[in-house]
Structure 1
Amino acid sequence: MPEPTLAGGVVPPVCTPLTPERELDVPSLERLVGFLLDAGVHGLFVTGSTGEVAYLPDSVRYRALEVVVSTAGGQVPVLAGIIDTTTPRVIEHAYAAKSHGANALVATAPFYAPTHLVEFPVHFRAIRAAVDLPLIGYDIPASVHSKLNAEVVAELAAEGVLDGLKDSSGDLDGLRAVLELVDTSTFTCFSGSETLADLGLFLGAHGLVPGIGNVDPEGYVRLYDAAKRQDWDAARTEQQRLRQLFKIIYVGDARMGRYSSAIGAFKEGLVTRGVIDHATTSLPMIPLNDTERAAVRAYLTDAELGPL
């Protein structure tokens, strides 16, 4: 059977369901994968930011990937986040991801260790040389505190080192610059924005990687399909609805950081929809309280997203 190809579309960054004891909740993860596939998504991105990759022990990272690959059964490509601080550590994750069945790898620039922009190409070249799988650069300055600029991306694309970009920078002009510099017939650009997805697609992005696509994958598939047929009014209408739903990430802002609030809200949304059993998040994230969980449920009601 040929491996699924990385062609774009809606590729949710899959949440990592955890038991109350913070072990991987395998049955919930299997249901989540089935739920996303039934909605018509075009790929699955495991151990990304929405998957709590920075918090997971390596054994949980690899088991989650194994479960997703097995459950997807080759229906769509599975992308594995190999995110870590420095090149040798990332390469170890790359070896493990390939051995557990990933179809493509997703890596950020190095972080924590002082790394200069001129060293970024060395980093990505070393990953690609070590493991010959499609490699997606992950531009997320809020987390790694460095920007993958368009010139570096284009250089690595021309060399065949990078096969795509996941742009979570929020910089639409930067995304436009990448799309102008690369060969878009061979290089796949994904927008990581939940609220600017329609604009990213209008600029020429090939796909979307929306965190709240875990909760409402059908909505992002509708948005993507509308954009593909160039029905920008329908895409904008769907985006406006999803933008309202995305406000669930703010339910815990009074007590916790935005990341804790967002991941907790995504998981609570999945519990409300009957997809996963628990909304447990990793330590030291603060869990949502009853008031905040009720607010999540109210947002889902407004979006006409009830239990399955």
Structure 2
Amino acid sequence: MGFLPKGIYPAMLTPLTKDQDINETALKQLTNHLIDANVHGLFALGTNGEFHLFNKEDKLKVAEIIIQETAGRVPVMVGSGGNSTEEVIELSKEMERLGADALSIITPFFIPPTQEEAAAHYKTIAASVSLPVLLYHIPSKTGFHLEAETVAELAKVDNIVGIKDSSGKFENIQQYIEHTKNEDFAVLAGTDSLILKTLQAGGTGAVAATANMLPEIVVSIYQYWLDGETEKAKAAQRELQPLRDTFGLATIPAALKKAVELYRVPVGPPKAPAGELMGDALREVEKMVAYYQSK
């Protein structure tokens, strides 16, 4: 498989109107804003894209808007994961038909499968589409840990091209890199504080939520690393921390949506049941946004 995800893929937010409908205008604006910042690809319908709250019709609408607006300028990777193998195959085929460049498929959640079941799930899905597939590992949200040995087995599948690790544990990333080093396989940081460490360890890039607001800074981490400017890369990595510190103030992605809204793109509220930021949390985010605006 020729496609190997490299560089910075923003974990795109899904803009909504006050009435909770998909905001097509803001979604196009966000797409162009990110591409203009020289990101290497787009990643839609992940955790920060609130994939778990949208029905199939909405997911296809979001993907179609992004794919059409991008018009081939960068690769578009879309989340088509779910709990049942059948459901994932159905959505994946639809995404392929819409023109997605790659699929991100989260591990099953709610009832954690065995390692063998997870491997069979991924192999069956990969065989049903011709698109490249990225494994998506976020154990804090799924209750399931994909073992490095399982990833090594899946890395041998022709169109399973990489993994996004959002465990927050660097040793996981290291293990995935170590176990797949003989394959053409990408290991991407899904935790924005680990972008530089992942690159230094042999990873290929990151799927970064902070890039919704600060794409230029996130892209610069990768660029400085490529150019061998380690100190500058470290400084750029540190520069993301004030934004990251606000993520825990509310239900994901309420704080990030408010930050992006105040800073640049009117992405609107999170999808219910998550509510808009208020009170002290809102003041914290406003203060953080003012910090970046002053720089």
Match of 2:287 in 1: 298
- The answer to whether the 8 A contact 2:4-2:162 is kept is no
CA distance in 1, matches of 2:172, 2:243: 26
Match of 2:262 in 1: 272
TM-score (norm 1): 0.90
Query: Residues 1-308 of structure 1: matches in 2 within 5 Å?
Result: 5-183=3-181, 186-252=184-250, 260=251, 262-276=252-266, 278-304=267-293
TM-score (norm 2): 0.94
Q: What do the CA deviations read for 1:108-164 (whole angstroms, capped 9, x no partner)? A: 222224521111111011001111110111111011111111111111112325211
Describe the shift of the 1:210–1:61 C-alpha distance in structure 2 as closer, same or farther (beyond 3 A): same
Q: What do the CA deviations read for 1:154-190 (whole angstroms, capped 9, x no partner)? A: 1111232521110111121121122122246721111
Unaligned runs of 5+ in 2: none
CA distance in 2, matches of 1:19, 1:6: 35
- The answer to whether the 8 A contact 2:211-2:218 is kept is yes
Q: Over aligned residue pairs, what C-alpha RMSD do you find?
A: 1.8
Describe the shift of the 1:161–1:134 C-alpha distance in structure 2 as closer, same or farther (beyond 3 A): closer
Q: What do the CA deviations read for 1:283-308 (whole angstroms, capped 9, x no partner)? A: 111221154333212102212378xx
Q: How many residues align?
A: 294
- The answer to whether the 8 A contact 2:43-2:78 is kept is yes
Equivalent AA in structure 2 for residue 167 of structure 1: D
Report deviation, 1:5.
Answer: 4.3
Match of 1:256 in 2: none
Equivalent AA in structure 2 for residue 17 of structure 1: P
Secondary structure of 2:78 counterpart = strand
- The answer to whether the 8 A contact 2:8-2:219 is kept is yes
Equivalent AA in structure 1 for residue 32 of structure 2: G
Unaligned runs of 5+ in 1: 253-259
